[in-house]
């Protein structure tokens, strides 16, 4: 049932003070007078640009993947940001699911390619939201600053059309393509995703529960 996809969960902890404060900052006054689409769009940009995209240095312990913990850090990669967006739209009554798939990223830095083991990234994450009586895919992942550095047009979202990675960058070079979809989930499947990333990209892990140190911003420069 669609209604089941508005509930709070272990990871989509939208009743926490931290998540509520994040929503209030994006929707002053609770978004009075705005439609669900308008609210979902405003929250999309709050997640996209208010949480810095960073793969390096992420801790992979279970408690690090609640929406509240991610918002407190104000950084994370696609898995983290999809969790936050799924949580904040549920808080306003919009059903959401978390989506996973494998993608080929043609513009990854040389160091990231080495750590990942090529240009295929497993368990890339985005969010499916139910707006206007249909499911729409939203990807509030790469923030505007990082897009500028990597010469990628930032992904916009209007609440009516799917927002997925553009296949080409602003210079016409291929950027990202989806290779397979792994499924949609009502909550973050912690064991499946973390074990899957570890199995696919073992060099990316500095310790059992922490990713390699670095900076995507620095590597872009």
**Quick one: what percent of the chain has pLDDT higher than 90?**
78
Q: Residue 172 domain-assigned?
A: yes
Phi/psi of residue 30, each to 5°? 75, 10
Q: Residue 135's closest CA among 80, 73, 89? A: 89
Q: Residue 214 domain-assigned?
A: no
Mean pLDDT calculated for residue range 130-140: 96
The single residue listed with the structure tokens 């499916």 is 128
Mean pLDDT calculated for residue range 138-157: 89
**Nearest-10 Cα torsion for 178, 183, 186, 187:** -70
Q: What is the pLDDT of residue 188?
A: 98
Mean pLDDT calculated for residue range 185-202: 97
Cα–Cα distance, 15 to 132 (Å, whole number): 24
Mean pLDDT calculated for residue range 55-83: 97
Q: What is the pTM of this model?
A: 0.95
pLDDT in tens, 108-118: 788 999 999 99
Which of 147-151, 184-188, 191-195 is predicted with the least confidence, judged by mean pLDDT?
147-151
Q: What is the pLDDT of residue 1?
A: 65
Helix (H, G, I), strand (E, B) or coil at 40: helix
Q: Residue 116 domain-assigned?
A: yes
Whichever domain contains 160, its CATH number is 3.10.620
Q: Residue 218 domain-assigned?
A: no
Q: Residue 182 domain-assigned?
A: yes
Q: Residue 8 domain-assigned?
A: yes
Contact yes or no for 136/146 (Cβ under 8 A): no
Q: What is the pLDDT of residue 170?
A: 77
Domain count, the chain: 1
Determine the structural domain holding residue 111 and report its residue range. 2-209
Whole-number average pLDDT of the chain: 93
Q: Answer yes or no: is pLDDT of 221 > 70.
A: no
122 band by pLDDT with thresholds 50, 70 and 90: very high
Q: Residue 180 domain-assigned?
A: yes
């Amino acid at each position: 049932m669609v209604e089941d996809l508005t509930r709070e969960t272990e990871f989509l902890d939208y009743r926490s003070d931290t998540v509520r404060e994040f929503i209030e900052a994006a929707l002053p006054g609770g978004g009075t007078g705005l439609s669900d689409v308008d609210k979902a769009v405003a929250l999309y940009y709050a997640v996209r640009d208010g949480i810095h995209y960073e793969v390096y240095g992420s801790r992979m312990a279970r408690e690090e993947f609640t929406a509240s913990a991610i918002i407190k850090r104000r950084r994370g990669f696609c898995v983290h940001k999809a969790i936050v967006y799924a949580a904040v739209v549920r808080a306003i009554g919009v059903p959401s699911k978390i989506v996973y798939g494998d993608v080929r990223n043609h513009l990854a830095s040389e160091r990231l390619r080495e750590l990942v083991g090529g240009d295929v990234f497993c368990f890339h994450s985005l969010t499916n939201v139910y707006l206007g009586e249909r499911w729409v895919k939203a990807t509030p992942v790469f923030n505007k600053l990082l897009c500028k550095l990597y010469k990628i047009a930032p992904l916009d979202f209007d609440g009516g059309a799917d927002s997925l990675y553009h296949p080409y960058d602003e210079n016409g070079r291929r950027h990202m393509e989806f290779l397979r979809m792994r499924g949609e989930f009502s909550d973050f499947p912690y064991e499946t995703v973390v074990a899957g990333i570890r199995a696919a990209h073992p060099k990316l892990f500095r310790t059992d529960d922490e990713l390699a140190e670095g900076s995507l911003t620095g590597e872009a420069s």
